[in-house]
Amino acid sequence: MHDRTISRRALLTATAVAAAAVTAATVPAAAAVPPPHERAPDPRDRLRRLISRMSLEEKVGQLFVMRVYGHSATAPDQADIDSNLAEIGVRTAAELISTYHVGGIIYFAWAHNTRDPHQIAGLSNGIQKAGLAQRVPVPLLITTDQEHGIVARVGKPATLLPGAMALGASRSHSDAREAARIAGGELAAMGINQNYAPDADVNVNPANPVIGVRSFGADPGAVAGMVTAQVKGYQSAGIATAAKHFPGHGDTKDDSHYALPTIHHTREEWTELDAPPFRAAIAAGVTSIMTAHIVVPALDPSEDPATLSHPIVTGVLREQLGYDGVVVTDALGMAGVRQKYGDDRVPVLALKAGVDQLLNPPDLRLAWNAVLTAVKGGELSERRVEESVLRILELKERLGLFRGDPYVSPRDVDREVGTRAHLAAADRIAEGTTTLLVNERGLLPLSRRRERNLLVVGADPASPSGTTGPPTTVLATALTELGFTATALSTGTAPTAARVEEAVEAARGKDAVVVATYNVSATSTQRTLVSALAASGVPVVTVAIRNPYDIARLTGVTASLAAYSWTDVELRAAARVIAGQARPRGRLPVPVQRADDPARVLYPIGHGLGY
């Protein structure tokens, strides 16, 4: 794409020095090796003995991290039993473990795993009990995608924090680290010992449909710093991390859930743009790295997805970057990894590429048997399987799962999850992320004397776990609590002509209108809504509640903010900025290009107004 090319070249020029500094900083110093008689016993010897007791089936099972339906490991609801039987061929999580000996389980809200913190803790304990009841007792990795912002599997009353791009806008490594420490501590209290975060992608393509605000930004050096802070924060809380999506998913217009994207970076561009955050994660001690289902011809001319690419996983990640930790695939049910090969070949090819963990295959029985067959037929050696099992067990050892017991208690939940201190920290961190892009005639902050009566309209996308209602309602409620009289009217992400007319009529007599915008495109009727409101003479304040690029396509706007998400914590922070109860301290972590001329930048990285 033309805009992608321009922004990439600009970023290469602007960040070459920073990227080189990050690269240099990741080279580890040589460690002193003690004499043989002073060396401590190698814990891997004990783990190798554990592996030697396993059957081939048990070893293969350790490679899989699988979904399962239900709020309980042994007594899920009947509907969840039916789903498990239909998709996996087992009734419960406990039966999944005893049948397939899986090394990990991933939680999803839609699988009914994450109803509330105490239930999550009970499910985690049930899963660990089943793992330790096996012939060869092995605790499980219990994982989820709790990136925060727009991706959160565990909702209230757990603490919900700003997402990656919002944190990138804050430019605060200490806030990023604290957010990860809080999030990690709460996950650990619920028995979740691995988080598939942070996102290490450098989002240089405004049209990216799958990463966007999940990235810390477009500057590789800045992203690397944030990734380092979050890795250290999560791991200080005692949970594992997974930098993703290697080798970098930030410059694509396709979503790998539904297609197989191609990244057209040269090797030089990849080294300068995509590699620095992963180098930084490795230097920070990241405990796992997740692969992407993307094609990068400069790294592998075969055009295999990176997840299945030996030149990328082994050649680049392991040999060039020197990473010897756990490598996990992105979900194997995604279209990006299934288009070129069948579901029986994908897990085998991933292992041959150098991957250790196989995440959430669409058909576990097929995938598990395919790996067994590949070993028995000689395509994969049992030694190769044992190499990955050892890495996985070393990770479990590092998390302390083999020491004492892996269980959590209700007291852990009450002491750690959604505490007043954590919620206050989330609000404080969010206040540093809200970015003021436009403020004509000094409209903001609004005055309760001049602009008392407000209308809040706009997009109300499907709510992530961190919301208590539609964004328009949350904003209106927050502004009312701050002393304004605010009315909410949802107009949707694609307002009809009738809805636009209704909004214009509702704006009559109001002192200002706040419009929540959501990924405004060239043909979006959100543009019509904003223009019609501005033409009515009422001051218009827009709040971009996802990607911050919306302002480039809007006209007649008096003031504009970027909130980077529509979760409560970020919307409340935006409301406080609008009301003057907090200063806008965020700075753009990505450039906003002109809609009419993508070769020109409307607002550069670092832009942000204050008052």
Rounded Cα gap, residues 389 and 35, in angstroms: 29
Burial 391-413 (b: 16+ CB within 10 A, else e): bbbbbbbbbebbeeebebeeebb
Rounded Cα gap, residues 34 and 522, in angstroms: 64
Among this protein's residues, is 257 annotated catalytic?
yes
Q: Side chain identity at 488, as an amino acid letter?
A: A
DSSP summary character for residue 35:
P
Active-site position among 3, 255, 257, 310:
257
Whether residue 157 has a cis bond before it, omega within 30° of 0: yes
Residue 552 neighbours by CB under 8 Å, 6+ apart = 592, 593, 594, 595, 602
Closest CA to 111 of 138, 131, 86: 86
In terms of DSSP H, where are the helices of 437-496?
A: 471-481
How crowded is residue 46: how many other Cβ atoms within 10 Å of its Cβ? 13
Whether residue 117 has a cis bond before it, omega within 30° of 0: no
- C-alpha to C-alpha distances, 401 to 139, 397, 406, nearest whole angstrom: 6, 6, 5
DSSP summary character for residue 3:
H
Rounded Cα gap, residues 589 and 603, in angstroms: 11
Residue 325 neighbours by CB under 8 Å, 6+ apart = 282, 286, 287, 288, 289, 391, 395
Among this protein's residues, is 310 annotated catalytic?
no
Closest CA to 198 of 159, 246, 156, 160: 246
Residue 379 dihedral angles phi and psi, to the nearest 5°: -70, -40
Rounded Cα gap, residues 443 and 290, in angstroms: 45
Active-site position among 175, 199, 219, 330:
330
* Catalytically active residues, by annotation: 257, 330
